[in-house]
Amino acid sequence: MAAVLALPLTQGAQAATPVTTAATPATINADDDNPFRWMELDGLRADFQHMCPAGRCVGFWSLVLTDDIAQHKFEGGKFFVYAPATGEFSFFLDTDIAVRTVDHPDQVRLVDTEFMRSHPRVEVRYGDPGHPGRARVVASATTLM
């Protein structure tokens, strides 16, 4: 199950607060492990953060919306992750909890690398997850082969 990959990140204290790389020491070379480096990103960017659930810090990569996309006005729907080729859904990481949808652009955080690698194209859509074909494509990640 795709959610299994995020379990080490999603278990633990719900009050855990991610810390962006801008606030971490320069000795961490996060670029070496970027699992998204071989993907074509449109409206998304790779982001390395630290999270400390239950006092144990973990560094992890995720995809977030680019600043220019996140600044758009979104009303009347939800953000969700969708693979158009198969009609499957993935999840976002909201603080330290895996969720299927989020309300705000700054909550868009994809961590499910297995889902992204197993689908040639993954899209962040905005609208009604019950009708993904009618939802607006906000951003995408395409696996380069």
The tens-digit pLDDT sequence of the chain (145 residues) is: 343 334 344 333 333 444 444 333 333 445 568 888 889 999 999 999 888 877 888 888 999 999 999 999 999 999 999 999 999 999 999 877 899 999 999 999 999 888 988 999 999 999 999 999 999 999 999 987 6
Q: Where are the alpha helices (DSSP H) in the chain?
A: 7-10, 67-70, 113-117
**Which residues are paired to 92 by β-bridges?**
99
Looking at residue 85, what is its pLDDT?
A: 95
> Residue 111's closest CA among 55, 53, 51?
51
Q: DSSP states of 48-83 as a string?
A: EEEE-GGG--EEEEEEEE-HHHHTS---SSEEEEEE
Q: Are 48 and 30 in contact (CB under 8 A)?
A: yes
User: What is the number of structural domains in the chain?
Assistant: 1
pLDDT value for 95? 77
Query: Within its chain, how far is the Cα of 70 from the centroid?
Result: 13
pLDDT for the residue numbered 57: 87
**pTM, 2 dp:** 0.76
Range of the domain at 119: 2-22+30-143
Beta partners for residue 109, in sequence order: 64
